[in-house]
Amino acid sequence: MDQDGLISGLRDLPGLRLGIMGGAFDPIHIAHLVTAQEALAEFNLDQVLFMPAGDPPHKSRKMAPAEFRYLLTEVATAGNPRFSVSRYEISREEVSYTVDTLEHLAGVVPPGTEMFFITGADAVLDILGWKDPARVLELSTFIAATRPGYDLSRLAGLLEKLRSTTVGLVPEARVKILEVPALSISSSMIRERLMAGKTVRYLVPDPVAYLIEKSGYYAATGPASG
Ligand code: ATP
Ligand code: MG
């Protein structure tokens, strides 16, 4: 695996189908893994690259440090030979927009690679409503996974609006809806449970639960020192 997280045995595949799953992963939970696996299987992807976001420059809420979120993502995905984790966003000083990360990846993947950006029903609207959506859709096909509590009814309108800004590209054709088993789990919910001293067993992979407990991040008492 290299710095970008591309798996060595797969990186030179001609016509590589590369999934990218971005997120804070604060912490990673089983719905992230189920979504990535479902995308892998349904879209015949060769690998899914998890891309934990870097630390925000002005922390609006206390996020666990990027290195810790990265570590949890590594242990959560270690058992799957088609999952890997990139250090790209956490190693940068600036905030990474999806478009910047996709531009970077486009420069390092083998020629002929097709990129698929995997999101939940909430994040697809955020990303395509934000920075340079036309370019984002040029660089990747979106896989928008269903998520309990979020509906995709606003997506059609958003894509329609994007039509006027895209040349030679049909936005609707670049966003695929993926039905995933409904799991009403979020990182916020995991953090709240931990704050309240409740168990998160089976909501996150076991090694993630162990590391969270050991570190004290997310606990009401705060991280263990030393
Ligand atoms: P938070 O509550 O802190 O926002 P989260 O659970 O939404 O955490 P993120 O790191 O924000 O996790 O999300 C990373 C990606 O995973 C996003 O595209 C998000 O939509 C998707 N995702 C998260 N949880 C689910 C879920 N239960 N079902 C489908 N997609 C999900
Ligand atoms: Mg979220």
Q: Which domains does the chain have, with CATH numbers?
A: 8-184 (3.40.50.620)
Ligand 1 close to Cβ of residue 73 (< 6 A): no
Identify the residue whose C-alpha is closest to ligand 1 atom 9: 23
| Cα gap 207→212, rounded to integer Å | 9
Phi-psi region for residue 119, left (φ > 0), alpha (ψ -120 to 50) or beta? beta
Q: Note the ligand closest to the C-alpha atom of 29.
A: 1
47 lines ligand 1 (CB under 6 A): no
Q: How far is the CA of 123 from the centre of ligand 2 (A)?
A: 7
Q: Please work out whether the CB of residue 38 comes within 6 Å of at least one atom of ligand 1.
A: no
Tell which one of 69, 143, 183, 186 to mutate to probe ligand 1, the residue whose CB is within 8 A of the most ligand atoms: 186
Ligand that lies nearest to the alpha carbon of residue 27, given by its number in the listed order? 1
Ligand nearest to the CA of 26: 1
Residue with tokens 């370019």: 135
Q: What is the pLDDT along the chain (226 residues), one digit of tens a residue?
A: 677 888 877 667 779 999 999 999 999 999 999 999 999 999 999 999 999 999 987 766 679 999 999 999 999 999 999 999 999 999 999 999 999 999 999 999 999 999 999 999 999 999 998 899 999 999 999 999 999 999 999 999 999 999 888 888 899 999 999 999 999 999 999 999 999 999 999 999 999 999 999 999 999 888 876 5
Q: Give the C-alpha separation, 222 to 194, whole Å.
A: 11
Per-residue confidence (pLDDT) for residue 38, from 0 to 100:
98
Are 190 and 184 in contact by the 8 Å Cβ rule? The answer is no
Instruction: Give buried/exposed letters for 91-125 (b at 16+ CB in 10 A, else e).
Output: eeeeebebbbbbebbeeebeeebebbbbbbbbbbb
What was the pLDDT predicted at 59?
A: 62
- Does residue 188 line the site of ligand 1, with CB under 6 A? yes
* Most distant CA atoms of the chain, gap in Å: 56
**Cβ proximity of 195 and 220 under 8 Å:** yes
In angstroms, the CA 211 to CA 160 distance is 44
